[in-house]
Amino acid sequence: MSVYDLLQERGFLKQLSHEEEIKELLEKGKITFYIGFDPTADSLHVGHFIALMLMAHMQRAGHRPICLLGGGTGMVGDPSGKDEMRKMLTPEFINHNIACFKKQMSRFIDFSDNKAIMVNNADWLLNLNYVDLLREVGVHFSVNRMLTAECFKKRLEKGLSFFEFNYMIMQAYDFLTLNREYDCIMQLGGDDQWSNMLAGVELIRRKEHKPAYCMTCKLLTTSEGVKMGKTVGGALWLDPEKTTPYDFYQYWRNVNDADVENCLALLTFLPMEEVRRLGSLEGSEINKAKVVLAYEVTKLIHGEEEALKAKTAAEALFGDGSNMEDVPTINVESSSIGTKIIDILASNGVFASKSEGRRLVAQGGLYLDDTKISDVEAELTADLFNADKSILIRKGKKKYYRLILA
């Protein structure tokens, strides 16, 4: 089976610039391709995860990936899918985020022996001469056509700055540069990047008179079309300091039944025969498939040891086990006795803020052991602790923490 057929079978592919040519290319040859990542935060998130899986499948099939880090494009910001202009990022912030991205990407992609390349578009974008760029690249872009692109349509009603309007040209120039330097002939990315990717394909074909291609993958959504990877606390991050391995595991353990097979196909390397078997389970049996999904995805991101810890902790809480060692813990000093419970939990990251904690109490979503907290002013008292000097905190339906008295 060619990698094209594999990607089709697993449900990755959405739009292709030249479908028959791409299919033949991936079946008969080995190519260099790239995916771009703008460093807008200090961690990759689940939205990047599907792109990294796509890249990993391509590399396993013998194709060479380029991870393009947007040190230059990140200075502008992609307007695609945004209602307003992105906040301008400082060079220091961008460089810090790039260092974080590099570390996380190495879990998925093999960079040894030139099997993959990592580049930063700041190396060529930040030193461009503006007039030279207009003469070399700008002449190949039609403003009329650019304004019909999906990435701009949404913003035209509310206002699109000239600053952001340049993003498409910058991304196209990236592809042109990689084509010249590394013989890169294909760009891959999320379906929201389609217009920007086509611009690069057309620029290379016009300017270099050479074939170039692009291919988008589906965005990770639920069966209802809602984008996945969002939690009450924000994005589902790949950095364990931002989303703990346990919380990461629990997110996948609790996906809707209808989404299990799609997630197994896109976010694990399990054979499709096994994916289909697990996806066909019904009733309470589907929970077995969710455990496999949660474990496999957590293992890919955080390693086998952390995946096992998260699985053990979840089983202790939801099964008949009694091993609570791997449930996230909060150590409190005896001096905390008499402090508001909400204040303690907020200061330890259980809530993003005290106001979030108060809202949860008002909604009836905070428990100490099996007792619902109904008073936002409730204080921590010594008699609340069990014989082992711990309390089990439940936030919402399925998020647990252990409060331990030091």
Indicate which residues carry an active-site annotation: 40, 45, 48, 82, 86, 171, 192, 227, 230-231
CA–CA separation, 188 and 33 (whole Å): 7
Collect all residues with Cβ–Cβ distance below 8 Å to 335 and sequence separation of at least 6: none
DSSP strand pairing (399-405 vs 390-395)? antiparallel
> Which two three-digit tokens encode residue 242?
């931002």
Residue with tokens 């592809």: 175
Alpha-carbon distance of 248 to 298, in angstroms, equals: 7
Residue showing tokens 């096992």: 308
Specify burial of residue 341 (Cβ count, 10 A radius: 0-12, 13-18, 19+).
buried
Cβ contacts of 359-368, under 8 Å, gap ≥ 24 = 360/395, 360/396, 365/395, 365/396, 365/397, 366/393, 366/394, 366/395, 367/393, 367/394, 368/341, 368/392, 368/393
Q: Strand, coil or helix: what is 303?
A: coil
- Tokens standing for 287? 């929970």
Where residue 243 falls (left for φ over 0; alpha for ψ -120 to 50; beta otherwise) is beta
313/300 Cα distance (integer angstroms) = 18
* Residue spans of alpha helices (H) in 83-234: 91-105, 122-125, 130-136, 143-146, 150-156, 162-165, 167-182, 194-207
